[in-house]
Amino acid sequence: MFVHNKRLQYTVRVAAPNPGLANLLLEQFGGPQGELAAACRYFTQAVGEDDPGRKDLLFDIATEELSHLEIIGSIVAMLNKGAKGQLAEAVQSEAELYRSLTGGGNDSHTTALLYGGGPALTNSAGVPWTAAYIDTIGEPTADLRSNIAAEARAKIVYERLINVTDDPGIKEALGFLMTREIAHQKSFEKALHSIQPNFPQGKLPGVPEFTNVYYNMSSGNDARGPWNDGSDWKFVEDPQPAVDGGDGLATVDVSADDIEVLKAMASRTASDTSTDLTTGADLGAGQA
Ligand code: MN
Ligand code: MN
pLDDT of residue 117: 74
Distance between Cα 24 and ligand 1 center (Å) = 16
pLDDT of residue 97: 73
- Residue 195 contacts by C-beta under 8 Å, 6 or more apart in sequence? 140, 141, 144
Q: 218 among the known binding-site residues?
A: yes
From 109, 130, 135, 107, select the one nearest 31 (Cα to Cα).
130
Whether the pLDDT of residue 9 is over 60: the answer is yes
Distance between Cα 6 and ligand 2 center (Å) = 21
Mean pLDDT of 134-163: 98
Distance between Cα 141 and ligand 2 center (Å) = 18
Distance between Cα 155 and ligand 1 center (Å) = 9
pLDDT of residue 255: 98
3-state secondary structure the chain: CCCCCCCCCCCCCCCCCCHHHHHHHCHHHHCCCCHHHHHHHHHHHHHHCCCHHHHHHHHHHHHHHHHHHHHHHHHHHHHCHHHHHHHHHCCCCHHHHHHHHHHHHCCCHHHHHHCCCCCCCECCCCCECCHHHCCCCCCHHHHHHHHHHHHHHHHHHHHHHHHCCCCHHHHHHHHHHHHHHHHHHHHHHHHHHCCCCCCCCCCCCCCHHHHCEEECCCCCCCCCCCCCCCCCCEEECCCCCCCCCCCCCCCCCCCHHHHHHHHHHHHHCCCCCCCCCCCCCCCCCCCC
The pLDDT tens digits of the residues spanning 23-73 come to 999 999 999 999 999 999 999 999 999 999 999 999 999 999 999 999 999
Asked whether the whole model's pTM tops 0.95, one would answer no
Q: 216 among the known binding-site residues?
A: yes
Q: 193 among the known binding-site residues?
A: no
Distance between Cα 201 and ligand 1 center (Å) = 26
Which of the residue ranges 114-118, 272-276, 277-281 would you say has the lowest mean pLDDT?
A: 277-281
User: 19-193 maps to which CATH number?
Assistant: 1.20.1260.10
What are the extents of the domains in the chain? 19-193
Helices 140-163 and 168-193 pack at an angle, to 10 degrees, of 160
pLDDT of residue 260: 97
Pick the ligand that lies closest to the CA of residue 188. 2
